[in-house]
Amino acid sequence: MVKFIIAIIIGLTLVISSNIIGYYRGPFSILATAVLPFIIVAGVNYRLYKINFLAAVLYGYGILLLNDLLIRMYAGGTHDQVGKAWISLFTFIGFVLITSSMLVYAFTTVSVTEKINRKRISNLLAVVISGLLTATFYLRILGDV
């Protein structure tokens, strides 16, 4: 439980600090949109997938949405249609990167002693359903911001 809380704090700190830097240097946070959630999901959260896979998946997609929301609200630069398109493009790239890393973790974090096929299928379904819900939320809610 302590590792889970520490990983959450590290991830939120990275997202918030990236957007604070982006407030003063607009292109930084936009370019970090594709890479930063991937670093958090693939690197920082590696141990979380073994503790609670579903919570780690929801946290990963939450980091992606929080980063996009903070960029749209607080990033420096002009917020015209071209800027919003770049933000959407880099968010989509980040979505693809974190979804692919979660799919890899869905198959590799299953221990040998568990029922491998059932656990892998439940992990795969957790990633697919959470990804679809995240994409729907992003297109419906955050796409209009």
Per residue in 72-81, pLDDT (tens digit) is 888 766 677 8
Determine the pLDDT at residue 144. 60
Q: Are 25 and 79 in contact (CB under 8 A)?
A: no
Residue with tokens 């896979």: 53
Per residue in 9-53, pLDDT (tens digit) is 999 999 999 988 888 887 888 888 889 999 998 888 888 888 888
- What's the predicted TM-score (pTM) here? 0.87
| Integer Cα distance of 86 and 48 in angstroms | 31
Q: Are 63 and 40 in contact (CB under 8 A)?
A: yes
Q: Are 41 and 61 in contact (CB under 8 A)?
A: no
Please list, in sequence order, all residues whose beta carbon lies within 8 angstroms of the beta carbon of residue 47, skipping any fewer than 6 positions away: 3, 7
Per residue in 97-114, pLDDT (tens digit) is 999 999 998 888 766 655
Instruction: Report residue 135 as tokens.
Output: 């994409």
